[in-house]
Structure 1
Amino acid sequence: MLRRAALRSPRQLCTTRRVRLTRAGELVLARARRALDELDGAKADLARLAGELRGRVRIGSIQATGPFRLAAALAEFHRRYPEVELSLRSGRLRQLLDDLDADQIDLAIGPLADTLADRVRAQPLFTDELVLLTIPDNPLAGREELALGAVRDEPFACLPAESGLRRLLDRACASAGFSPRVCYETNILPQLRELVSYGLGVALVARSVAEAPGRSVSVHRVLPTPIDRPVGLLRPKDRPLGPAAQRCHTFLTAWATRPTEPP
């Protein structure tokens, strides 16, 4: 990068010889000085814009957002807009929708469903596949794909009955001709993986949860049809977003299209 000190006229330099720029040199020097002035002006404009975006953005999110890299997204937004106060809370979809209605959060990240249209505006972000977990010494563990009917007699670990994941499990098992025997309930998604790793049962979880670090488990795609769960960015339908929340909405929407980077 050019430095201003390097653009001083040669007449200002200590020398015993008289040096003069050619006409061409003077033109180049003038253009370089103008370029640096423009760069300084652009930096000042960006600094002012960053300083003007203030306020707070309250975000609610489901636990399983692995493909989206939510923490990395929030860190990058904070780097760009340091004057905006961010907050994040975790919850199930029903709670997130209630929080949006009560103006306790500005944006929510949660599963998309047809029934959401009456309450919120939704912007798709990513799709997370639901997979079946078994313990590695299970006789079925060697199969890459597994029908739910194959584990109908196994105890299941799942989120509580009012959760979206539990409803998905119940519907999928009903399609396979049985009702799952849920023996282990928890509000903490990673704990489902841990329960399976100790041989206490099987579980249906998002692939991002299944492939998280921890004790060994076997991961199976669900037959006959993979279960995909689309997740989106939700905003109030009848309440406008403030400037900071609108900027965050735009940023998170764009973030979803970025190529996945290695951890």
Structure 2
Amino acid sequence: MELRQLYYFVKVAKKEHVTQAAEELHVAQSAVSRQIHQLEEELGVKLFVQKGRNLQLTPVGQLFLKRAEAILADLERAVIEIQEFMDPEKGEVRLGFPHSLGISLIPQVVASFRKQHPNVKFRFKQGMFPSLIRDLVKGEIDLAFISPFPREHEQVCGEVLLTEELYAILPPGHELSNRHSIELIELKDETFVLFSEGYSLRPIVYEACQEAGFEPKIGFEGEETDTIRGLVAAGMGVSLLPEMALFYSGTLQPVKVRISAPSVTRTIGLIHRKNEKLPLVAKVFHSFLLRYFLDYNAKREQ
């Protein structure tokens, strides 16, 4: 079965007339008749019956028309997607990122990019470290912000975009909340509110506490920065969060205090599949991000 036969069949079905279909297709009437005949022979059924001077679909022809139209529609969409894939001004960026970056960073970056490339679309996928790696390797996304940055990986590679400081967050009125900075060891007797297993910030906080000389007592767990902040603000414990996760508003909020020792940071990187070319639109976005964070880090150091 040839694609041309499907085109001819659908056109004849719509026009109910071989001559009119041939005129719209800009081919000879005999060519259309021949392709329809070959299609019927291959399928082993009659798709049309003569009704006066017109052709009418048989019941099986009506069934086949629905499938043929769906096939041609899918093909048309595929062609459009390929054209968008090859056009950096019309394509779609498939981007993954952890929840903590979705509060302010991702909206800011995307808004800034779309000022220069207003026709580019985005498809977002949030996830934890393992799922972002998996989605990238499977080809479900093209680029991913990730933390911590995977220094060595067989299937993905990328660049560190920035290193971000983590702050202690304390309930309002906590005895240390009026301090400019504290040492992490000062929280050794506190109950900690941490991210659940699988979230990248959990081992960062846990390892920092161990470096400070104690095992954190975990009282509550959450899966979003909003939850962690809310539980701490409600007096359920203390925690550590990156500065980027502390842009918030509302009446009930924790107090952030800088940690003087040990230094607690997280790396944020941008990764893509190793040894594979990015789609043009993703490549343009990738280049934009490298320039964006070069300026971003320069401003932070001023």
TM over 0.5: yes
Q: Choose 1 or 2 for highest CA Rg.
A: 2
| Structure showing greater relative contact order (alpha-carbon pairs closer than 8 Å, 6 or more residues apart) | 1
Q: Distance in 2 between matches of 1:208 and 1:83?
A: 28
CA contact under 8 A between 1:125 and 1:231: conserved in structure 2?
A: yes
Q: Distance in 2 between matches of 1:249 and 1:186?
A: 32
Give the structure 2 partner of residue 100 of structure 1. 136
Offset of 1:86 from its aligned partner? 0.9
CA contact under 8 A between 2:156 and 2:272: conserved in structure 1?
A: yes
Q: CA RMSD in A?
A: 2.5
Give the structure 2 partner of residue 244 of structure 1. 281
Q: 2:92 aligns with which of 43, 56, 62?
A: 56
Q: Distance in 2 between matches of 1:137 and 1:55?
A: 51
Q: 2:172 aligns with which of 107, 114, 136?
A: 136
Give the structure 1 partner of residue 261 of structure 2. 224
Q: Distance in 2 between matches of 1:52 and 1:95?
A: 27
Offset of 1:189 from its aligned partner? 1.1
CA contact under 8 A between 1:112 and 1:122: conserved in structure 2?
A: no
Deviations 1:126-163 (A, max 9, x none): 22211111112111212222222222222111111222
Higher helix share: 2
Query: What letter is aligned with 1:235?
Result: H
Offset of 1:106 from its aligned partner? 0.4
CA contact under 8 A between 1:111 and 1:230: conserved in structure 2?
A: yes
CA contact under 8 A between 1:144 and 1:219: conserved in structure 2?
A: no
TM-score after normalising by structure 2: 0.64
Query: What letter is aligned with 2:174?
Result: N
Query: What letter is aligned with 2:207?
Result: R
Q: 2:120 aligns with which of 84, 102, 105?
A: 84
Mark the runs of 5 or more structure 2 residues left unpaired by the alignment: 1-86
Q: Distance in 2 between matches of 1:78 and 1:210?
A: 25
Give the structure 2 partner of residue 119 of structure 1. 155
Moved more, 66-75 or 101-110: 66-75
**Corresponding residue SS for 2:100:** coil
TM-score after normalising by structure 1: 0.72
Moved more, 234-243 or 77-86: 77-86
Mark the runs of 5 or more structure 1 residues left unpaired by the alignment: 1-50
Percent of aligned positions with the same letter in both sequences?
A: 27
CA contact under 8 A between 2:194 and 2:222: conserved in structure 1?
A: yes
